[in-house]
Amino acid sequence: MRGSALATLAELDLQICATCNRMSSRFLLRLFVEVSRLGNGRFWYGLMILLPAFFGTRGTEASLRMLLVGVVCLALYRWIKRTTARPRPYQADLAITRRARALDPYAFPSGHTLHAVAFTLVVLPTCPELAWLLVPFTLLVAISRVVLGLHYPSDVLAGAALGATVALTAVQIG
């Protein structure tokens, strides 16, 4: 029964990914490609630079915490990717179209989502006035990864959970 349940979940994961990959309009695809590109680091590096300028000491604190959390998340992400070596959806199913460049060959977990969730949860306690920008951007990053055929929903959920765990731990410690 256990193997059957896992196979059913894997099939559902693939079906959701394929459906999301097919249903996007040209406008939404462009939006998701750009969000994904920004979520690759540009948005977050820019935020780290701008936070001290706009928020002073608390911005500096948030930027330093982002840097620390980013290093921890990167190390975990790389280790998990190499350990699991899960193929990306477009590699597993020819019906799924890769709509953006993948940064590495493996799907699990979504590093974009991991970092987006972690950085958002690190910044918001210090600069809650940025929630209007960070929360929607983070959600778009997560959705983009599935729509673009680069991740399964479970990769995105795992990335979000790992990012949240690292960020909340850092906030609690610091």
The number of distinct structural domains making up the chain is 1
Q: What is the CATH number of the domain that holds 80?
A: 1.10.606.20
CA separation for the pair 18, 6 (Å, rounded): 18
Domain that holds residue 50: 2-173
Whole-number pLDDT of residue 25: 83
Question: Along the 174 residues of the chain, how does pLDDT read in single tens digits?
Answer: 466 877 788 888 888 888 888 876 889 999 999 999 999 999 999 999 999 999 999 999 999 999 999 999 999 999 999 999 999 999 988 888 889 888 889 999 999 999 999 999 999 999 999 999 999 999 999 999 999 999 999 999 999 999 999 999 999 887
CA separation for the pair 50, 46 (Å, rounded): 6
Angle at 78 between CA 17 and CA 19, to 5 degrees: 5
For the entire predicted model, the pTM comes to 0.92
Whole-number pLDDT of residue 6: 74
Instruction: Name residues whose C-beta falls within 8 Å of residue 152's C-beta, 6 or more positions apart in sequence.
Output: 13, 14, 16, 17, 89, 107, 108, 146
Whole-number pLDDT of residue 1: 47
Please tell me whether the peptide bond between 128 and the residue prior to it is cis, using omega within 30 degrees of 0.
no
Q: Residue 80 in contact with residue 159, Cβ under 8 Å? A: no
